[in-house]
Each structure stands twice: as C-alpha cells, then as structure tokens.
Amino acid sequence: MGEFAKLEVDGKVYMLPIVQGTEGERAIDISQLRSQTGLITLDEGYANTGSCKSAITYIDGERGILRYRGIPIEELAAKSSFIETAYLLIYGHLPTRAELRKFSELLTENQYLPEAVKYNFEGFPSNAHPMAILSAVINASSCFDPSLMRWEDKSSFDVHAARLISQVRTIAAFSYRKSRGLPIIYPKKSYKYTANFLHMMFSMPYEDYELKPEVVRALDLIFLLHADHEQNCSTATVRMVASARANLFASAAAGVCALWGPLHGGANQAVIEMLEEIYQSGDDGSKFIAAVKDKTNRRRLMGFGHRVYKTYDPRAKIIKKACDDLLEVLDVHDPLLDIAKKLEETALKDEYFIERRLYPNVDFYSGIIMRAIGIPVEMFTVIFAIGRTPGWIAHYKEMMDNPETKIYRPRQIYVGPTQSSFIPIDERK
C-alpha cells in the first residue's frame, strides 16, 4: 500500500497518492482530482507543479546539485565534451567509442543547410536580432524534410536529432555573418563541433580563424553547461508544443522564442549590458545594488536569482573558474569582470539578497567569457540556444517514447464577467 495525502473538501475526504522520484523527491498525484472532487489546483508560474516524470536531469536547488542522467555536472565539465554530453542526454547513457563516432559522423553529414534555406537570411533586416532569425530559420528548415512531420515515425529520429544539433549551429553562425554583412563561411568536415562554430563565425574566405585550444574548450564548456536544466521555461515550452505532436524543429523553434526572454536565456545579454552601464557610469557596483533594493524602480541584478536554486548555481561556480582561467591565458583584463566580482561580493553579504536567497546563476559570468572570445553580445542567447538544443531533443524523445504522453492543456480559474448580453453597436456607450 503506497502513501497518500488526505484532502478534505466540503466534509468529504479524498486520498491522493504520493509519488516518489528516485532521489526521494515527493509529489501529490492530483491526476484524478477534478474527476473526483470537481476542483482544480491553482499555481501561477507553476512553482509547485510537476508537469511530468522525467529521467533526464536532476536538480536539487537547496543543495546546488545538478546531474545529467545521474552524472554530476562537475564531472561532466571536467571530463566530457559537449557532443558526448549531448549523446548522454538524448540516449540516456555515455556512448561507447563506436557510438560516439557514429553520432559525430551523423552530425557532420547533417551540418549543411539545404541551399534554399540560405535565401531566408536575405529577407531579414541587417539589424535583426539573431534569436529571431534562429527561431524562424529552424522552423523553416522543417519544410525541407517531410519525414519530420510524422511524430509516430521513430526510424528517422536519429537523423533529425543530429540535423537539428548541427544546423542550429550553422544557422546561428550564418545569422551573425548576415547581420555584419560578412560572406557566409561553410562548416569544415575535418573540424569538431565547437571548433567549426568558431570557424563559421570568424574565418574569412581568404584566411582561416586561428583556433586556440583554450578558446575552443571554454566555449565547448559553455555549451555543455547549458545542455539541459529540466523543466525550465524554454524546455517546458518545447514539451508543450511537442505534446500537440508538432515536429521536432517546430518544437525547438518555440523553445528558442521562450529562451529569448530576459528573465530566461536573454539574461546573459542583459548581464553584460548591466555591467557596461555600471562601468560607463563610473560606479563600482554599490550604487547599482542600492538601486536594485529600491523596489520603486523595478531593477534587478541580472544573472542573480533562480526559480530552483536557492544557493550558488553549480554551473556559475564552474563558469567563474573557467572565466578566470581563460582571461589569464588570453592575457585579457576586462574591467567588467572586476565589477561582476564586486557585485557578487556585495550582494552575498547584503541582507536583501541573503533573505531572498539570491545567488549568481549561470548567466552571471558566461558573458565575460564570450566577450573575451570575441562573440558579440547579441549572440550570447544564441550560444545558450545551441547549448540547450540537445536538452530539448532529449525531452522531445522522452515524450515520443512514452505511450502515455498527452497533450498539455492546463485549466484556469475564470475571473472575467459573468454572462452578459450582446449590445448592438448603436446602443453602446
């Protein structure tokens, strides 16, 4: 006999089953609540709502734990690569050498965009945000493969997954080149995933970009650290769209749109803009912290706070160290890093932040690494999207493989006018 929670409404008692996850996390199963009681639950922002059971990523926000398929993020950051981690997320286990080779070959074979897709880039204004281009072109790419439209057809999943991972990077680099009026650079077969992205971003037709191993490694680490984060806003969006049996590319395009928001993936761009503003104003960060605490101006310390983490985001710790290491190797002194460190130091001692349990999140230091690499600020959220793509694919596959997957369709509590009659236009005041 399992465990139950007792709910008493209108003098009647209902027994609601308690579900337990593999890490001991418990939830009240309310799937029969409405049919049994006529009631629904109300949880705006879903902070207390589990939308699914998932075996991909585990987070303990109180203890600052993040694991992909059971493996701590710290171990993956130290020992794995983005592509190996992508395989782990999507297929549920670390690949053997043969599996990894096959996966890499599939990525290489699928990295080119159909030629006609290229014309999509011509239609955008030169100042278009690359996230708009990314979302539009990912969606447009699905027209080129009719087999994508068949949700039930699992036989082509591996190719579609590889195509999306590879093409997201190609589209991202093309969108940057287009925005700068630069000629498009095609991927090279001999380059690995992250090196190829840097090549497509920065090479010229007459001169290849010089690939520094430390730079390639730092960017690969950023991709890896962003690869999944369970039911965050963009992944929940991907799952929402996929639940209607939309194709993988359409679902991922929707994820890109959600990620673009400044409270989500757009925060990495917002952090650098905030640090620039502080630097330009001659503040060392203290005035800014005071302004954030003054609720009348609705400012936030970007890159701080998290819905799930109520302690230091484990990814932020890894990124902060990588940031220090890379800047030292490249011999770069970035005054924005000094400001970021000062902000962190001040905030972590300040009652406002302590009370609300606000700590640096993944976005706080990642922008400084990207700046050092030469990635322009408007591409920061695109980098996040490239990193998050394997996570979105893993969630899509999890839904596809689950015969019990239903369309996501929340309910609501209606608070609008009660029944009223239509008023003819001449009688309206």
Catalytic residues: 306, 363
Q: Which has the closest alpha carbon to 169: 183, 187, 182?
A: 187
Least distance in angstroms from the C-beta of 57 to ligand ACO: 13
Q: Binder to ligand ACO among 192, 217, 307, 341 (CB under 6 A)? A: 307
CB 227, CB 89: distance < 8 Å: yes
Amino acid at 281: S
Whichever of 148 and 385 has its CB closer to ligand ACO, that residue is 385
Span near ligand ACO by CB under 6 A; candidates 83-91, 245-253, 316-324, 353-361 = 353-361
- Tell me: does residue 129 bind ligand ACO (CB under 6 A): no
- Tell me: does residue 306 bind ligand ACO (CB under 6 A): yes
Q: How far apart are CA 28 and CA 386, in angstroms?
A: 35
Q: Binder to ligand ACO among 66, 83, 258, 301 (CB under 6 A)? A: 301
Residue positions counted in the chain: 429
Least distance in angstroms from the C-beta of 168 to ligand ACO: 17
Q: Is 148 exposed, middle or buried (CB count within 10 Å of its CB: 0-12, 13-18, 19+)?
A: buried
Whichever of 256 and 292 has its CB closer to ligand ACO, that residue is 292
Whichever of 363 and 398 has its CB closer to ligand ACO, that residue is 363
Nearest 5°: phi and psi at 8?
A: -110, 120
Helix 248-260 with 380-401: angle, nearest 10 deg: 140
Q: Binder to ligand ACO among 58, 193, 304, 365 (CB under 6 A)? A: 304
Whichever of 207 and 355 has its CB closer to ligand ACO, that residue is 355
Whichever of 195 and 375 has its CB closer to ligand ACO, that residue is 375
- Tell me: does residue 302 bind ligand ACO (CB under 6 A): yes
Size of the site for ligand ACO (CB under 6 A): 18
CA distances in angstroms from 411 to 10, 40, 89, 414, listed in the order given: 22, 8, 31, 9
- Tell me: does residue 83 bind ligand ACO (CB under 6 A): no
**Positions in 256-275 near ligand ACO (CB under 6 A):** 263-265, 267
- Tell me: does residue 314 bind ligand ACO (CB under 6 A): no
Alpha helix segments (H runs only) across 54-125: 73-79, 82-91, 97-109
SS3 7: strand
Least distance in angstroms from the C-beta of 250 to ligand ACO: 22
* Side-chain half-sphere CA neighbours of 379 within 13 A: 27
Q: Binder to ligand ACO among 148, 165, 292, 337 (CB under 6 A)? A: 292
**Positions in 354-393 near ligand ACO (CB under 6 A):** 356, 358, 361-363
CB 175, CB 190: distance < 8 Å: no
Q: Binder to ligand ACO among 64, 130, 285, 303 (CB under 6 A)? A: 303
Q: What is the DSSP letter of 304?
A: B
Span near ligand ACO by CB under 6 A; candidates 21-29, 131-139, 299-307, 319-327 = 299-307
Least distance in angstroms from the C-beta of 363 to ligand ACO: 5
- Tell me: does residue 305 bind ligand ACO (CB under 6 A): yes
Neighbours of 45 (CB within 10 A): 7
Q: How far apart are CA 388 and CA 141, in angstroms?
A: 18
Q: Which residue is nearest to ligand ACO (CB)?
A: 305
Least distance in angstroms from the C-beta of 404 to ligand ACO: 29
CB 115, CB 420: distance < 8 Å: no
Q: Which residues pair with 8 in a beta bridge?
A: 13
Q: Binder to ligand ACO among 192, 300, 341, 342 (CB under 6 A)? A: 300
Q: How far apart are CA 175 and CA 126, in angstroms?
A: 10
String of DSSP letters for 9-59: ETTEEEEEEEEE-TTS-EEE--TTHHHHHS-----GGGTT------SSEEE
Whichever of 311 and 405 has its CB closer to ligand ACO, that residue is 311
Q: How far apart are CA 103 and CA 80, in angstroms?
A: 15
Whichever of 297 and 420 has its CB closer to ligand ACO, that residue is 297
Least distance in angstroms from the C-beta of 290 to ligand ACO: 12
- Tell me: does residue 236 bind ligand ACO (CB under 6 A): no
Binding site for ligand ACO (CB under 6 A): 263-265, 267, 292, 300-307, 356, 358, 361-363
